[in-house]
Amino acid sequence: MALPLAILAAAAVVAIFVVQSIYSVFFSPLARIPGPKLYAFTSWRLAYDDWCGARTRNFYKLHQKYGPAVRVGPNEVSFSSLASLRTIYGAGSGFERTSFYKMFEVYGRKNMFTFGPGRDHAARKKMVANAYAKSTMLKGTIADLVEDKARNYLDLIEASDNRTSEIFASLHYFSLDSITQFLYGDAGATACLTGSPQHRALINDIIDKARRRLSWFSVHMPDFINAVYAQTGLAGAIAERYFYPMAKPTTYSGIREYAMHAVERFGKHAAHKSLDEIEREPSVIAKLWKYHAHEKRADNDLDDTDIAAECADHLLAGIDTTSDTLMFLVWLLSRPENKKFQEKIIQEARSVSADSINVHGVTRAAAADKLPYLDAVIKETLRLFPPLPGSEPRLSRATTTIDGYVVPANTCVSISPFVLQRNADVFQDPFMFNPDRWVDDSLNTAEMNRWFWAFSSGGRMCIGMHLAMAEMTTLASSIYRKYRTVPTDGFDKISPGITSRYEVLCDDSCEDMREHECRIQFQLLDAGLGAIKGSGK
């Protein structure tokens, strides 16, 4: 009797699965949206893309085949139009961040990046927005900070063997030193560029390529991976040997621990300061501490862990994004086929007036911000290699119409910067690096700017955009005022690659790829434009 019941139960489960699958593929409100049937049938088809590190590239191919709306899961749709961009990500759209962002929570606390409801995000953003204002970046303490780190980077180049550097690591040192000083002030500033082994070790778990597997499990099997890492004793030893996707310390573990200690040090420092003294400090932690210590209310009360989590999230967001973009920028300009673009950057950087260069030979942040061709180079780099190229998932609690399709409540919808910024109808030769496109009066640059989405848009637009631009413009202009760059160790034909969640972003047209590696030689220019000291050219 037990066996027939078991068979009936199994048959019922199979029948329910079949009915649900048939409904999902053929009768769901999403069935009108084009796309491969297998994606509509099971979410594991997209999970397989993620496992292979192919989501973003496959989304691009799917949009090329099916158009601006593609169904990529039983309950997920990818879009690639300006109309859908405004609907989903525009200010006041009502779309929230999904549970996907839970893996970015720090110390088990939500932060500005991971808050779902827009009102929670807005309340936290209000506390720190002034610290990230563009005017703050280009003058005073923060401008001095950025210029000082650029000087440290130039010193690091001069100290390297034959002025040759592995710039993935060295640019991470630059961005880490910049963001820690900006966030914590003296309480948490790192000294990677000046040689601190302890601080340089903080990027070790960023470099570990296994972090992509950990990201996959965190998204697709979160309960399993949480249980695996929670095991102790014999079970823990077995889990570590056979089931860990990434050995401990896992991604950002060291940085998160460092961030917590920085908050503790700031707390001891703040205990002896008045409110006026804290308010005069430019660091982000000082802004948050003001709410914590002096403006406690039911809607904004923060404890030490909340402050540590918020600052740690800004720290993590401010390392990879800036350094990866700078790495691609230098690599792209260094390639032989892009020599003409580098020459334009050199001439522009060396045309800056003497009073806009500080005593250390660094271009002042305010002057670097006004260099139009450098801006074009940065924009083109971000177009091809946005720091977060993959889809940015959202959901609405109400049924919505997007691009003419009815999208039921709680459907996951997304847009990918990689897909948007390679639209051949907007960008001529979309896979080609061509900064001239942004300064060519014969092209529709206004239209290109509408499709440029490297910093997101709306209320969730990257809060650190102005800091990132100040870092990139100041360092890049200072480098090319002093050096010409050329690739070494075959990197004229090899693409560097960066980890982006569970994918590797690189130039697919190259013969080979090296993840987290890029070797560049900095050739010293003499006093004359375009000449290299000692080269006879």
Answer with the residue of higher pLDDT: 218 or 532. Answer: 218
Minimum mean pLDDT range among 52-56, 85-89, 324-328, 523-527: 523-527
CB neighbours of 310 closer than 8 A, spacing ≥ 6? Answer: 111, 112, 124, 128, 288, 302
Three-state secondary-structure class, residue 475: helix
Confidence of residue 534 (pLDDT cuts 50, 70, 90): very low
**What pLDDT is recorded for position 388?**
87
Residue for token digits 């100290």?
A: 159
Confidence of residue 532 (pLDDT cuts 50, 70, 90): very low
- Say if residue 228's pLDDT is above 90: yes
Answer with the residue of higher pLDDT: 63 or 117. Answer: 63
**What pLDDT is recorded for position 379?**
98
Minimum mean pLDDT range among 127-141, 162-176, 462-476: 127-141
Residue for token digits 């989405």?
A: 453
How much of the chain exceeds pLDDT 90, in percent?
Answer: 70
Answer with the residue of higher pLDDT: 208 or 66. Answer: 66
- Say if residue 514's pLDDT is above 70: yes
**What pLDDT is recorded for position 18?**
66
Q: Which two tokens stand for residue 338?
A: 């892009």
Number of neighbours of residue 527 by Cβ within 10 angstroms: 7
Confidence of residue 143 (pLDDT cuts 50, 70, 90): very high
- Say if residue 163's pLDDT is above 60: yes
**What pLDDT is recorded for position 231?**
95
Pairing of strands 412-415, 76-79: parallel
Nearest CA-CA partner of 72 in 35, 114, 24, 112: 35
State pLDDT tens for residues 417-443. Answer: 999 999 999 999 999 999 999 999 999
State pLDDT tens for residues 368-377. Answer: 999 999 999 9
**What pLDDT is recorded for position 106?**
86
Average pLDDT over every residue of 294-316: 77
**What pLDDT is recorded for position 529?**
44
Q: Which of the 8 DSSP states describes residue 434?
A: -
Confidence of residue 297 (pLDDT cuts 50, 70, 90): very low
Q: Give the range with max mean pLDDT: 72-76, 309-313, 315-319.
A: 72-76
Instruction: Measure the CA–CA gap between 45 and 64, rounded to whole angstroms.
Output: 19
Average pLDDT, the chain: 91
User: Of all helices (H) and strands (E), which one includes residue 407?
Assistant: strand 405-407
**What pLDDT is recorded for position 292?**
67
User: Of all helices (H) and strands (E), which one includes residue 401?
Assistant: strand 400-402
Average pLDDT over every residue of 466-475: 97
- Say if residue 229's pLDDT is above 50: yes
**Exposed / middle / buried, residue 356 (Cβ in 10 Å: 0-12, 13-18, 19+):** middle
State pLDDT tens for residues 321-345. Answer: 899 999 999 999 999 999 999 999 9
**What pLDDT is recorded for position 531?**
44
**What pLDDT is recorded for position 530?**
43
HEC per residue, 486-520: EECCCCCCEEEEEEECCEEECCCCCCEEEECCCEE
**Exposed / middle / buried, residue 164 (Cβ in 10 Å: 0-12, 13-18, 19+):** middle
Three-state secondary-structure class, residue 21: helix
Main-chain dihedrals φ then ψ at residue 123, nearest 5 degrees: -65, -40
**What pLDDT is recorded for position 535?**
38
State pLDDT tens for residues 242-274. Answer: 999 999 888 889 889 999 999 899 988 888 888
Answer with the residue of higher pLDDT: 197 or 274. Answer: 197
- Residue 317 CA to chain centroid, in angstroms? 6
- Say if residue 16's pLDDT is above 90: no
- Say if residue 470's pLDDT is above 80: yes
Q: Which of the 8 DSSP states describes residue 203?
A: G
**What pLDDT is recorded for position 25?**
72
Q: Which two tokens stand for residue 354?
A: 């003497």
Structural domains of the chain, ranges and CATH numbers in brackets: 1-98+387-420 (no CATH), 122-208+251-386+421-524 (1.10.630.10)
**What pLDDT is recorded for position 1?**
52
